[in-house]
Every structure is written in C-alpha cells, then in structure tokens.
Amino acid sequence: MKTLYIKAVLLSFLSALLLILCQPPFFNLPFVGFFALVPLLTALRIFTEVKLFILTLVFGLVFGVVTYSWYVDIFGLFLGIALMVAVSLWHAKLIGYGFKLENRMSFGGKIFAVPLVYASLEFLQRQIPFINEWWFVPYAKSQWGFTESLGLLSITGISGVTFMMLLSNSAISDIIVNAIKQQKQQRVSFLALFLVCSSLVFGYFQVKNFQEKSVKVAAISDMANVISGENGEGYFVEDENITKEILQKNIKLSKDVIGQKPQFILWSENEFTSADDDKILNHVKAFSKESNSYMVLDTYLKQKEKLYDSALSVSPDGSVDIFKKTHLFSGELDAGFSPSDEKPKALDTMFGKIGVGVCFDFHFDDVVRGLVKSGAKILFFPTDDDMRRNRFFPYFHQSDAVFRAIEYNVPMVSANTNGASIIVNSNGKIEKMSEINKASAIVGTVNLKSKTTLYERFGEWFGYLLVFVLGVVALKRR
C-alpha cells in the first residue's frame, strides 16, 4: 500500500513539474501542456485506493507555489504565501471536481468530464465581479509561444483552448489506462485526439494568413523604477529632477531606434510627469516631430479633484490625446488613483485608427473589445510589471498580449518598465520581445487588423455553452 501511494504521489508531482515547464517565465515548452496532466489523470484512474484529495493537493501545491512565487513580491511575504496556498487549492479543485464528475458519467463520455469542469470553472472565475481581478494563470497560458495551438481563440476565446488541451490530456490518459488494464480501447478517445489535432491544423493556417498592410513600431523599457526608487504600483513622480532623468532616458533609448524609422514609439508606464506639464510635453513634441513618429507615453492627470493614470498620444504635428486607465491594481487605488469612467475610444492617425490603454487594461477583455469596436487597427499599452524586479511576473502579464491579438486579429504592443516588452502581430506571432530587467528598445513590423473574428462578434459564447452543458450533465448525474 505504501509503494502504491508513493507511485501515485510521484505521478502527481510529475504532472505539476511538466505544467511548470511550459509556463511563460520558465522553460516555455508549450507543447508539453497537451500531455502534462497525463501522469496525474492516469494515477487517479489506476490507483483508486489513493484518496483523490491527496493527489490533487500534491499537484496543486507544487504547481501553485512555483508558478505563483511572484505573489510574494506583489502582496508581501505572509499574504503572498497565503494566496499561493489558496490558488494551489483552486488548481487542485479544478482537477478534483472534474474527476468526481467523471466517476458519475457513463463509460463513453468519461473523458470529457475533466475538460468540461476545468474549462467551465476557469471561465466562471473570469466572469464573476471582483474575483475576475484575481490573477489566476489559465491552463492555456502555457501556449503563449506556440501560436498554432491558439488559433481557436479567434472563435471560442481562451475557454476553447483550455477545453481542447484538457481533452488531449484526458484522451491520452484514457488510452494509457486501457492499455495497462488490457481493456478494449474506446473509439471516442481517438476521435477526441483527432479533434485536438484538427484545432492545431486550423491554428497553423491562421498563423500563416498574413495581410500586406503593415506599420513599424518601437517599444521602450526604461527601468524607470530604478531611477525613481519605487518598487510597486501606485506612485507618481513629482520630483522634477527624476522626471527629467526618466525623460532623458526614454529619449536616448528612442534615438537608438529612430534610424529604423518606426511610425510609432511606445514608452512604458512610469507616471513620470503630469499630463499638464507643458515643459516636458514640449520635449516630447519636439522629438515626435524630429523622428516623424507618433509617441505614446504614460503620465498622471489631475482632473476635477481626481487622479488618473493616463497615457498620452503625441503626433508629429504636435496634437495630444489622453487615454485614462480603466483597471487599477489595489496599490493604485490605495494611492488615490481613480479608474476611468470613459468608454474606450480609438484615435485617428495617418496610418489608421489606433487604440491606447494602460497596463492592467489588456489583461481584461472590455478595454480591448471597446477599442477594437471603435475601429482601432493596432493597440498600444504602456505597462509597469516591475514588482521588485521580479523576473517571472512580467512574462505572465505580457503574454496576455498574444491572447488578445488572436482573439481580435489586432496587433498588440506593450512597453514594460523592467523589460519583457513585447510586439505581437495580429496573428499572435511574437515579432520582438526584450530582455527582462534591462533598459532596451525593440522594433518590429506588424500587420494592421484586417478582419473581424467570430470571438469579436459573439464574445464568450463558448464559455457560456460549456457552463450550460456542465449544468445539464451535473443535474442528470445527481
């Protein structure tokens, strides 16, 4: 019995390790995600004497503690650890609830139970107010560098990708278990794998479907928090000397790339000056005219007794447009910042309409959807993911740009304060990404938005369909 427990726990540990390996900041082995859970699911299906809670808890704790290690740098030691444990239990329960449903289903449909529960609960977490702002890592996040597997995003959103990946794991495990038990193989498992492969083929052709109209963009990582001495969200610069130093740093980095003639240059989220500081803005306008590039930069705005984190777009002709940040971190709210109460709106440029948001805004769907609906052909996001120079968190956030790009067929550009700035094409391909914790400038060419996706038209239809099916199945199996 002891040997049996050890084997089962080791398989659970192996699944956690495999899933960690394909996450953005680690080894980035995306295809592993299609079979990472096979050891755990196989253990659950073979070693029925071992309690479900033990195996899923081992998986959840190992995966959660490593993957969410950056919680400590954001929330502090004690709260960070508590949240890591809580989110570990969440990942354990996603598998646990799925397997419980599997045990209540008929033989042919069993392999769909875990994918159905996992994808449905992930979807609900993203829809419930307040809870949707908690930073959970969805299963499909492992695919950020493998755009061929993300083609379904343009149809189903992230729920469809999660469902397909869990279906792959469940089907492979079922085939292995039947082979070990010398039972007849179920045709449905092979059909499921065929469905998964078909989605990959679809994704392959999505990636290859390029359009000709393009623009060249630059993204600047300025390490502004090193200059200001800040380590988190919620600050804004009021020291004139620091403001000048950050300005000079960004102009210097921008000058390094103007020889490549980018039409747009994006600076990171650093709140280094007031949106009303004409002295600083005149420097930016002068550089915009000199480089013949549109500049997008981050500032703070005091308006009607409220404080806003605001991005500015400065055109070569000197005109300035302001975009207020919608989604705020708790530190920003504590510091007195207010969320935008304005609808996202695209801006006309000589290269077509652009959309601008700030940082946390592209983690959510509403700002991106609003900008695209108003006609934006490319999106820009000044970003600050510098949490005490943590090397992991920026990748989790920046990889959101890949998902939004495919969902809406729109190129995404995010300039992050401490590196990992990213330029993503409209098909989800990462054109350029900068080094972490290093001041740098990157330049890439992207294709402007050229079509309307099914996801853009109907939103989270697939997620709601999954929840409906889960409800029907659960009621029938009571």
Q: Quick one: pLDDT band at residue 65, thresholds 50, 70, 90? A: very high
Pairing of strands 214-221, 378-383: unpaired
Tokens (6 digits) for 445 = 């060419």
Q: Is 389 left (phi over 0), alpha (psi -120 to 50) or beta?
A: left
Tell me, what amino acid is at 421? S
pLDDT score, position 304: 85
Tens of pLDDT, residue by residue over 420-473, are 999 999 999 999 999 999 999 999 999 999 899 999 999 999 999 999 999 998
pLDDT score, position 204: 86
Rounded Cα gap, residues 154 and 150, in angstroms? 8
Tens of pLDDT, residue by residue over 262-319, are 999 999 999 999 999 999 999 999 999 999 999 999 999 998 889 999 999 999 999 9
Rounded Cα gap, residues 395 and 456, in angstroms? 25
* Cα 134-357-205 angle, rounded to 5 deg: 85
Under CATH, which number does the domain 214-449 receive?
3.60.110.10
Task: Return all residues near 132 (Cβ < 8 A) that are at least 6 apart.
Answer: 125, 126, 364
pLDDT score, position 148: 87
Closest CA to 343 of 355, 335, 352: 355
Tens of pLDDT, residue by residue over 339-372, are 998 999 999 999 999 999 999 899 989 999 999 9
Q: Could you give the percent of the chain with pLDDT greater than 90? A: 72
pLDDT score, position 264: 97
Tens of pLDDT, residue by residue over 105-164, are 876 789 999 999 999 999 999 998 888 878 888 999 999 888 889 999 999 999 999 999
More confident residue, 203 or 40: 40
pLDDT at 334 over 80: yes
pLDDT score, position 73: 85
Rounded Cα gap, residues 148 and 232, in angstroms? 35
Task: Return all residues near 235 (Cβ < 8 A) that are at least 6 apart.
Answer: 228, 271, 335
Rounded Cα gap, residues 168 and 170, in angstroms? 6
What mean pLDDT is reported for the chain?
A: 91
Q: Quick one: pLDDT band at residue 236, thresholds 50, 70, 90? A: confident
Q: Quick one: pLDDT band at residue 212, thresholds 50, 70, 90? A: low
Domain boundaries, the chain: 2-209+459-476, 214-449
Distances (CA, A) of 96 to 16, 120, 170, 189, 358: 14, 14, 13, 21, 37
pLDDT score, position 209: 60
Half-sphere exposure of 67 (CA within 13 A, CB side): 30
Lowest mean pLDDT among 179-193, 197-211, 359-373: 197-211
Rounded Cα gap, residues 83 and 241, in angstroms? 38
pLDDT score, position 210: 59
Task: Return all residues near 318 (Cβ < 8 A) that are at least 6 apart.
Answer: 285, 288, 289
Q: Which residues pair with 378 in a beta bridge?
A: 354
The three-state DSSP-derived secondary structure of the chain is: CHHHHHHHHHHHHHHHHHHHHCCCCCCCCHHHHHCCCHHHHHHHHHCCCCCHHHHHHHHHHHHHHHHCCCHHHHHCHHHHHHHHHHHHHHHHHHHHHHHHHHHCCCCCCHHHHHHHHHHHHHHHHHHCCCHHHCCCCCHHHHHCCCHHHHCCHHHHCHHHHHHHHHHHHHHHHHHHHHHHCCCCCCHHHHHHHHHHHHHHHHHHHHHHCCCCCEEEEEEEECCHHHHHCCCCCCCCCCCHHHHHHHHHHHHHHHHCCHHHCCCEEECCCCCCCECCCHHHHHHHHHHHHHHCCEEEEEEEEEECCEEEEEEEEECCCCCEEEEECCCCCHHHHHCCECCCCCCCCCEEECCEEEEECCHHHHHCHHHHHHHHHCCCCEEEEEECCCCCCCCCHHHHHHCHHHHHHHHHCCCEEEEECCECCEEECCCCCEEEECCECCCEEEEEEEECCCCCCHHHHHCCHHHHHHHHHHHHHHHHCC
pLDDT at 1 over 70: no
Q: How far is CA 8 from the centre of its chain?
A: 32
Q: Quick one: pLDDT band at residue 332, thresholds 50, 70, 90? A: confident
pLDDT score, position 298: 95
pLDDT score, position 249: 96
Tens of pLDDT, residue by residue over 5-33, are 888 999 999 999 999 998 887 777 889 99
Rounded Cα gap, residues 147 and 143, in angstroms? 7
